[in-house]
Amino acid sequence: MARPVTLFTGQFADLPFTEVCALASRWGYDGLEIACWGDHFDVEAALGDDAYLPRLRDTLDKHGLKSWTISCHLTSQAVCDHPIDERHRGILPARIWGDGSPEGVRERAAEEIKNTARAAAAFGVDTVVGFTGSSIWHTVAMFPPVPQEMVDRGFADFADRWNPILDVFDEVGVRYAHEVHPGEIAYDYWTTVRTLEAIGHRPAFGLNFDPSHFVWQDLDPVGFLYDFRDRIYHVDCKESVKQFNGRNGRLGSHLPWGDPRRGWDFVSTGHGDVPWEPVFRMLNSIGYEGPVSVEWEDAGMDRMTGAPAALAHVRALAAIEPPAASFDSAFSSSS
């Protein structure tokens, strides 16, 4: 059940794709989870330039790397988000932002995710990882009081916007793996249940498991894996640490990453509070055989140190495989 270990390129998108490939190969990664920003994966070029995808594949092959997933986190965030504002302008391509009119941004983002499915299929990749956005995340504090009808409209809005996108995923044989993450329509256990219900549990839509966001919400990542075992389409190995001291809290206090006053922060994989060994044992139990991708984020450690160190940590975990026979089988008189 040896799973490939990949590097998510999103935190390296300021570097040319060829340079990231060289680094990942030298460090010993099996492949890349390729981000659709920087010069790493251009959806428009993938569909409009016959030479683009073969050139991308040649670059991977040159460095002994493969790709099982591409990631569209930035553009997919805009599909359902409300409000649409300067935050989105900072992460979206100019052609998606356009004149910035909110509904226009949402519609162009939705079309881009449809094209991302088509580009993934043309690239030979069957899983796209990303976000959904949410029209009701801004109501999470529940004050002013939030009518139930408003929450219901939020999930209906998600279904209305994503079902046509998922129709294209079905057409081309690609799956969407949504990352359960604050700021999205599914950000914890019960919102994940409600999200899957909203789209009728259609198989085109599953989950990207990223336990870093479970830790600071006090959610059980291992139980989540078991309960949603048929929907785990991809795994990101990202890490976070809680550092509550009575003066800080879960919501971050509008403090930047790495600020010691924060109540939690992202750290390099293996340096935080994710129960990694139970997570990998559960991945074995549910039969997950896809890639595990290091999504490296740590404001207190250089990525050139953190990314290879995270790989070593994940390799050791990935080596935990179930035995060919039960340990107690040797006790049997017939053995």
Check: CB of residue 243 under 8 Å from CB of residue 263: yes
Query: Is residue 334 predicted with pLDDT exceeding 70?
Result: no
Residue 321's pLDDT is what? Answer: 83
Check: CB of residue 186 under 8 Å from CB of residue 132: yes
Query: For residue range 110-125, what is the model confidence (pLDDT) as tens digits?
Result: 999 999 999 999 999 9
Residue 319's pLDDT is what? Answer: 86
Residue 198's pLDDT is what? Answer: 98
Spatial separation of the C-alpha atoms in residues 180 and 177, rounded to whole Å: 9
- Assessment of whether the complete model's pTM goes beyond 0.85: yes
Spatial separation of the C-alpha atoms in residues 221 and 188, rounded to whole Å: 10
Query: Is residue 1 predicted with pLDDT exceeding 60?
Result: no
Residue 96's pLDDT is what? Answer: 98
Query: Is residue 332 predicted with pLDDT exceeding 70?
Result: no
Query: Is residue 327 predicted with pLDDT exceeding 70?
Result: no
Residue 264's pLDDT is what? Answer: 98
Where are the chain's structural domains? 5-331
Query: Is residue 192 predicted with pLDDT exceeding 90?
Result: yes
Query: For residue range 227-239, what is the model confidence (pLDDT) as tens digits?
Result: 999 999 999 999 9
Query: For residue range 253-267, what is the model confidence (pLDDT) as tens digits?
Result: 999 999 999 999 999
Among 175, 192, 181, smallest CA distance to 214 is for 181
CATH 3.20.20.150: does it fit domain 5-331? yes
Query: For residue range 61-107, what is the model confidence (pLDDT) as tens digits?
Result: 999 999 999 999 999 999 999 999 999 999 999 999 999 999 999 99
Residue 323's pLDDT is what? Answer: 79
Residue 265's pLDDT is what? Answer: 98
Paired tokens of 244: 């509550």
Confidence of residue 328 (pLDDT cuts 50, 70, 90): low
Query: For residue range 16-55, what is the model confidence (pLDDT) as tens digits?
Result: 999 999 999 999 999 999 999 999 999 999 999 999 999 9
Query: For residue range 154-174, what is the model confidence (pLDDT) as tens digits?
Result: 999 999 999 999 999 999 999
